[in-house]
Amino acid sequence: MDKIKRFKLALRKNPHYFQLIKNLKNYYKKKYQENKDETKYLYLAALESLKAFLKGEIPIGCVLISPEGKIFKAHNLKETLKDPTAHAEILAIRKASKYYDTWFLKNFKIYVTLEPCLMCFGSLIESRITDIYYGYLEPKYGFSNFIKIENFPKLIIKNLNLSDIIIPIKIFFKLLRYEHYL
């Protein structure tokens, strides 16, 4: 059975998780309204991650903001699209590149619920995105595990360490009864 089917079956057997996700949605909305700057947008990314959750995807969301303030939202769709590159960050970059008809996303800022992987980090560099904010450390596949951040002095990289942002990921793995490190 594929992951999405397994997840949806587990969710049907545990309907109280729907209520939990509904509560989280209201909580993130409130946090989005209450906060400012990067924290605000990380909660917007967290709202996006809930969309992935309901699709049976590992719930990771992101928002990419252009210098003029246009917001591009995306969430992980790896299983749905059967595409190993369909991470939230890549999908947001594609949306913005399509909209502005350029790969060059200088002065854009990205807010991701979980530390980007190496592929996404590379894509951010390729897009010339220099401001990277994430909600929580990914100790295994996060880019900081593989590269020296000091080699990229022009980048602004901030881990906001917001443990409430990764609650959907914890629930997701609990539902699937996966052993996970988070």
Sites of contact with Zn ion (CB under 5 A): 87, 117, 120
Active site residue 89: yes
CB of 142 to Zn ion, least distance (A): 9
Nearer to Zn ion, 120 or 175 (CB): 120
Considering 48, 89, 115, 138, which one is annotated as catalytic? 89
Residue tagged 């994430």 (tokens):
134
Nearer to Zn ion, 31 or 94 (CB): 94
Nearer to Zn ion, 117 or 175 (CB): 117
CB of 143 to Zn ion, least distance (A): 9
* C-alpha to C-alpha distance for 48 and 60, rounded to whole angstroms: 8
CB of 40 to Zn ion, least distance (A): 23
CB of 119 to Zn ion, least distance (A): 5
Nearer to Zn ion, 92 or 175 (CB): 92
Residues classed as catalytic? 89
